[in-house]
Amino acid sequence: MKAMSASAKPVPAVPVNENERTNSQAILGPRGVADPDPAETADWLASLESVLRHGGAARARFLLDRLEQKAREIGVVEEAPPYSPYRNTIPLEKQPPYPGDLAVEERITSIMRWNALAMVVRANMAYGELGGHVASYASAAEIFELGFNHFFQAGDATGAGADLVFFQPHSAPGVYARAFLEGRLSETNLKHYRQEIAGEGLCSYPHPWLMPEFWQVPTGSMGIGPMNAIYQARFMRYLSDRGLADTAGQHVWGVFGDGEMDEPESIGALTLAAREKLDNVTFVINCNLQRLDGPVRGNGQIIQELESVFRGAGWNVVKVLWGSEWDAIFARDTNHALLRRFAATVDGKYQTLGAKDGAYNLAHFFGEDEEVKALVSHMSDGDVDKLKRGGHDFRKLYAAFAAAKATKGRPTVILAKTKKGYGMGGAGESRMTAHQAKKLDTDALKAFRDRFALPLTDAQVEGLEFYKPDENSRELRYLRERREKLGGFLPKRRRTAAHVTVPDLSTYAGFALEADGKEMSTTTAAVRLFSSLIKHKELGPRVVPIVADEARTFGMANLFRQVGIYSPLGQLYEPEDAGSMLYYKESRDGQLLEEGITEAGAISSWAAAATSYSVHGLAMLPFYIYYSMFGFQRVGDLIWAAADQRARGFLIGATAGRTTLGGEGLQHQDGSSHLVAATIPNCRAYDPAFAYEMAVILDHGARDMMERDVDAFYYVTAMNENYAQPSMPDGVRDGIIRGMYRFSGYGDGEPAIRLLGSGAILPEVIAAAKILAEEWGIAAEVHSVTSFSELAREAREVERSNRLNPGLPAKRSLVEESLPGSAPVVAATDYVRAYPQLIATAIQARYVTLGTDGFGRSDTRSALRAFFEVDRHHVAVAALAALADEGSLDRAKVAEAVARYGLSPNRPAPWTV
Model confidence at 18, pLDDT cuts 50, 70, 90, reads: very low
Q: What is the pLDDT of residue 597?
A: 92
771 pLDDT tier (thresholds 50, 70, 90): very high
Residue 169, preceding bond cis, omega within 30 degrees?
no
Average pLDDT over residues 307-328: 96
Q: Determine the pLDDT at residue 913.
A: 67
Residue 77: the pLDDT is 67
pLDDT digits (tens, 9 = 90+) for 630-666: 999 999 999 999 999 999 999 999 999 999 988 788 8
Mean pLDDT of the chain: 90
For the chain, give the longest Cα–Cα distance.
111
pLDDT of residue 80: 63
Per-residue model confidence as pLDDT tens digits over 209-260: 999 999 999 998 889 999 999 999 999 999 999 999 999 999 999 999 999 9
Half-sphere exposure (CA, 13 Å, Cβ side) for 662?
Answer: 10
Burial of 230 (0-12, 13-18, 19+ CB in 10 A): buried
**Which candidate, 638, 681, 633, 637, places its Cα nearest to that of 658?**
633
Highest mean pLDDT among 2-16, 146-160, 281-295, 710-724: 710-724
DSSP letters, 868-907, are TT-SHHHHHHHHHHHHHHTTSS-HHHHHHHHHHTT--TTS
User: First-to-last CA distance in the chain?
Assistant: 75
Is-contact 754 558, C-beta < 8 A?
A: no
Q: Closest Cα to residue 855, out of 614, 722, 659?
A: 659
Within a 10 A sphere around the Cβ of 726, how many other Cβ atoms? 17
Torsion of CA 414, 419, 424, 430, to 10 degrees: 150
pLDDT at site 312:
94
Instruction: Tell me, letter by letter, the H, E, C secondary structure of 322-334.
Output: ECHHHHHHHHHCC
Under the banding of pLDDT at 50, 70 and 90, the label for residue 553 is: confident
Question: Which residues are CB-neighbours of 532 under 8 A, at least 6 positions away?
Answer: 508, 509
Q: Tell me how far apart the alpha carbons of residues 448 and 464 are, in angstroms, rounded to a whole number.
A: 12
- Which pLDDT band, with edges at 50, 70 and 90, does 622 fall under? very high
Strands 412-417 and 281-287: parallel
- pLDDT tens by residue, 741-769: 999 999 998 999 999 999 999 999 999 99
User: Tens digits of per-residue pLDDT, 333-348?
Assistant: 988 899 999 999 999 9
- Residues 542-568, mean pLDDT to the nearest whole number: 89
What's the whole-model pTM score? Answer: 0.91
DSSP character at residue 375: H
How large a percentage of the chain has pLDDT more than 90?
77
> Counting beta carbons within 10 angstroms of the beta carbon of residue 146, is it exposed (0 to 12), middle (13 to 18) or buried (19 or more)?
buried
Of the chain, the percentage scoring pLDDT greater than 70 comes to 93
* pLDDT score at 14: 36
Q: Is the pLDDT of residue 825 over 60?
A: yes
